[in-house]
């Protein structure tokens, strides 16, 4: 499997419902910096067909197969080391949410869980959505077969979308403030106050989103944090330039007024925050993970599948969590 074939698979995967011809594939590859002729595209497509990774439709059109999608998701993992950080940076740039008008695209985490557990799940997540450990109290809920952004929800499952905390990076970036995402972690809460991180994984050195791993390893206690003021929540550690500190605090207050929470702590210039040192002329910032409600489900034994930073979604498509109850 060479890089050209992978690039072709990537193009096909972006349009899972459209039959693409070699001309269109060649055109789209150029946008990704891969310059090959239609003839070369056709040559590679024939190999992909033989391996069952693509399938012919019509005269020369192709679609990606299930096997092709699987190949894509597992191959070149080395490209994925540092993948989490580059995904964060790409999405921060792409989100165009205007928090003053409260419109535009936000970044969504999308989770699946069994439809028959829906009622129970909503009950479990209720206290989390009234706590300060969420990004926003608006969510997306769709049934099996429907779509959230470009993600199709499997039958028998519901798709539940929560606002991803990378949206904050996007909002700040639009205001000219670059946010560096350093670590995903598990944050201990004592008497309703963040006390320290009990686990940390750097975004730069991981092919997986650390918060997804912490959920699956059952390292959280979001239920405890929301019900008994003591527990462990998902959070991330980021850095902002010291020169932007006042502006960050200002924006943070305005955002909070509009229902966009998530910023738990902002540190002092060049000072460690929760014992974590920062780079020169940076301040630390602790932000809640958008997946905390989903962590509460796993803690309660409801099996979930989550993709953090899944898709962009119009904010106007979200509804208040309490309207689901």
Contact positions toward a second copy, by CB under 8 A?
74-78, 80-81, 183, 185, 188, 196-202, 204-208, 213, 216-218, 272, 274-277
**What minimum distance in Å lies between the beta carbon of 144 and a second copy?**
24
- Judged by CB, which is closer to a second copy: 199, or 324? 199
Residue placing its CB nearer to a second copy in the complex, 178 or 272: 272
CA distance 68 to 65: 5
CB of 104 to a second copy, least distance (A): 33
Q: Are 232 and 187 in contact (CB under 8 A)?
A: yes
CB nearer to a second copy: pick between 131 and 188: 188
Nearest to a second copy of 192, 207 (CB atom): 207
How does DSSP assign 51-103, residue by residue? TTSEEEETTTEEEE-HHHHHHHHHS-HHHHTTHHHHHHHHHHHH---BTTTTB
Are 41 and 29 in contact by the 8 Å Cβ rule? The answer is yes
Sign, CA torsion 237/238/243/247? negative
| Least distance to a second copy, CB of residue 74, Å | 5
| 238 burial type by CB count under 10 A (0-12 exposed, 13-18 middle, 19+ buried) | buried
Taking alpha carbons only, the member of 145, 144, 146 closest to residue 117 is 144
Q: For the CB of residue 40, give the shortest distance to a second copy in the complex, in Å.
A: 22
Residue pointed to by tokens 């002329």: 281
Please answer whether residues 184 and 214 qualify as being in contact, where contact means their C-beta atoms are separated by less than 8 angstroms. Answer: yes
Residue 280 backbone dihedrals phi, psi, to 5 degrees: -60, 135
Q: Rounded to the nearest whole angstrom, what is the least distance from the CB of residue 308 to a second copy in the complex?
A: 14
In the complex, least distance from residue 190 CB atom to a second copy, rounded to whole angstroms: 11
Residue among 187 and 255 whose Cβ is closer to a second copy: 187
Taking the complex as a whole, how short is the minimal distance between the CB of residue 306 and a second copy, in angstroms?
12
Which residue lies nearer to a second copy by CB, 144 or 230? 230
Q: Which is nearer to a second copy, 82 or 144 (CB)?
A: 82
- List the structure tokens of 170: 């996007």
């Amino acid at each position: 499997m060479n890089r050209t074939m992978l690039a072709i698979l990537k193009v096909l995967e972006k349009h899972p419902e459209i039959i693409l011809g070699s001309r269109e594939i060649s055109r789209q590859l150029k946008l990704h910096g891969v310059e090959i002729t239609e003839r070369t595209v056709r040559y590679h497509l024939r190999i992909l067909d033989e391996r069952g990774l693509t399938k012919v439709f019509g005269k020369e059109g192709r679609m990606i197969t299930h096997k092709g999608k699987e190949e894509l998701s597992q191959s070149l993992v080395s490209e994925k080391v540092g993948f989490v950080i580059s995904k964060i940076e790409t999405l921060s740039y792409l989100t165009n949410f205007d928090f003053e008008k409260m419109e535009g695209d936000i970044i969504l985490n999308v989770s699946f869980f069994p439809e028959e557990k829906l009622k129970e799940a909503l009950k479990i997540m209720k206290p989390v959505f009234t706590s300060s450990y969420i990004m926003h109290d608006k969510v997306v809920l769709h049934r099996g077969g429907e779509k959230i952004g470009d993600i199709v929800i499997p039958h028998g499952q519901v798709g539940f979308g929560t606002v991803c905390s990378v949206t904050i990076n996007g909002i700040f970036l639009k205001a000219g403030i670059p946010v560096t995402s350093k670590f995903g972690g598990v944050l201990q809460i004592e008497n309703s106050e963040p006390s320290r991180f009990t686990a940390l994984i750097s975004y730069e050195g991981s092919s997986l989103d650390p918060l997804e791993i912490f959920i699956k390893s059952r390292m959280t206690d979001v239920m405890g944090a929301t019900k008994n003021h003591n527990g462990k929540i998902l959070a991330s550690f980021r850095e902002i330039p010291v020169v932007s500190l006042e502006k960050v605090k200002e924006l943070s207050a305005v955002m909070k007024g509009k229902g966009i929470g998530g910023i738990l702590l902002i540190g002092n210039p060049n000072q460690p925050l929760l014992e974590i040192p920062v780079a020169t002329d940076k301040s630390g910032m602790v932000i809640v993970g958008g997946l905390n409600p989903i962590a509460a489900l796993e803690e309660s034994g409801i099996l979930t599948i989550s993709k953090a930073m899944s898709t962009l979604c119009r904010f106007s498509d979200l509804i208040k969590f309490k309207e689901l109850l």
